[in-house]
Structures are given as structure tokens and as C-alpha cells.
Amino acid sequence: MESETSRESAGFPVSAGIFFGLGLGGFFDGIVLHQLLQWHHMVTNAGYPPDSLENLKINTFWDGLFHVLTYMFVAVGLWLLWRAARRTHIRWSTKLLFGTLLIGFGLFNVVEGLVNHQLLGIHHVNETVPREQWIIWDVGFLVWGAAMLVGGWLLLRSGRRETGSRLEVRRSQGQW
């Protein structure tokens, strides 16, 4: 029954929420960690520490490309949401939106943390602390992302059940 309910409530554009979450996760990282706190930039640990005007220009350029990518995630999410919203559907549970946003945000943190911080080492979460503490911040970033993924998945599951219940009520009342 749950797979049927999930399929029927699948009219909610899960991918739109995930793309929005990816974009919001990237914007949070870029705006808060790169610009406001200035803990790192895209390539600060890849040979361009922020100790000269030329290195800051290079980092600003790469930060800009990073923001273009996050902007594209949001644009794709908006397009997917618009496309789905134009179809007839039942009232979706708010948990579907927040669950998918958390999944996308968490996915951003986990992928960015694994690829840029661990595999490529082009920057780390907080490069203003002593180098031996970088790993603590990097692991915290990964744990934070994983917690959002799990929380988002749980909200998505709950939202699908709620939306499926609404569909069943409408069917029993002859409205669907």
C-alpha cells in the first residue's frame, strides 16, 4: 500500500526540492563561509592562500564560478517546481518541501566536503584555525550534512504518507 501511496503522491517534484536544497547549501557555504566569515575560498589550499591581492582575485573568480553553479541548481529547481505546479495535484504536505530541501542541502555538504575538502584538498571548512584543527571542522561539516540527509529523508517519508492520506480522503469523498 505504501508504494502505491508513494507513487500516487509522487506528483510532488522531489527533484525540484533537492535542486533548491543543493543551491541553498551552496549559497550558504559561499555567502557565510567564503564571504562573511572568510574562513576559506574555493582554492585557498590549492596554492592560492589569501595573502596577496592576486591570490584574492583568483579565489574571487573561483568563488564566482561556484556561485554560478549554485545559481543554476536553484534555476533548475524553480523550473521543475513550476512544471509540476502547473499540473493538477492534491495539496502536498509541507514536509515534502522541507524534506527535499534538507536532502539537497545535506547532499551538497556531503559531496562538497568529501570532494573539495578530503579528496582534492583545495580548501577546508575553517582555515583560520590551526592546521591540525582543520579536520575537526571538515568532519563536523560532513556530520552536519549527513544529519540533514537523514532528517530530510525522514521528513520526505512522513510527507509522502500525509499526502497519500489526503489523497485517500479525497477518493473516499468522491473528489478525486
Per-residue pLDDT of 58-73, as tens digits, reads 999 999 999 999 999 9
User: What residue has cell string 506528483?
Assistant: 11
CB proximity list for 32: less than 8 A, separation 6 or greater? none
Residues in the chain: 176
What stretch of H or E contains 77? Answer: helix 53-85
The grid coordinates of residue 1 equal: 500500500
Cβ-contact 74, 23 below 8 angstroms: yes
pTM of the predicted structure, to 2 decimals? 0.84
Per-residue pLDDT of 69-97, as tens digits, reads 999 999 999 999 988 887 766 678 899 99
Q: What is the mean pLDDT of residues 38-42?
A: 93
Percentage of residues of the chain with pLDDT beyond 70? 86
95: helix, strand or coil: helix
CB proximity list for 157: less than 8 A, separation 6 or greater? 99
Give the per-residue pLDDT at 31: 95
Per-residue pLDDT of 109-146, as tens digits, reads 999 999 999 999 999 999 999 999 999 999 999 999 99
What stretch of H or E contains 175? Answer: none
